[in-house]
Amino acid sequence: MSVTSFVGRVLFASIFLLSAWQEFSDYGTDGGSAAKTLAPKLQVFSKHVAERTGFEVPEFDIKAAVAAAVAMKGVGGLLFIAGSSLGAYLLVCTLLQAAWG
């Protein structure tokens, strides 16, 4: 039974690991296609928050957010394979971020 569980964890985590590898390969100097997709959404979000609350969203580097997402997928996948619940939580956070993004 433990072999079946391990194989299942490897297959499930491979989705995240391959996705992280693809984003890492596409990252380049400008953050890749993920940063290009995220930039307009962040501008709309910042404008919406400023109009509704009067507060401005602080500026930050989108490339850093993409790099953090790639790292979260990679580390979460590896920890999930090792059987760590922290890896499962990181992957859940990745899925929640993808659902809202």
Domain ranges of the chain: 2-100
Confidence of residue 82 (pLDDT cuts 50, 70, 90): very high
Average pLDDT over all residues of the chain: 90
Q: What is the amino acid identity at position 12?
A: F
Give the DSSP letter string of 15-51: HHHHHHHHHHHH-TTTTHHHHHHHHHHHHHHHHHHHH
The CA-atom distances, in angstroms, between 38 and each of 8, 83, 84 are: 32, 32, 30
Question: pLDDT (tens digit, 9 = 90+) per residue, 21-67?
Answer: 998 998 888 888 888 888 888 889 899 999 999 888 888 888 888 89
What average pLDDT does range 78-97 have in this prediction? Answer: 93
Share of the chain above pLDDT 90, in %: 52
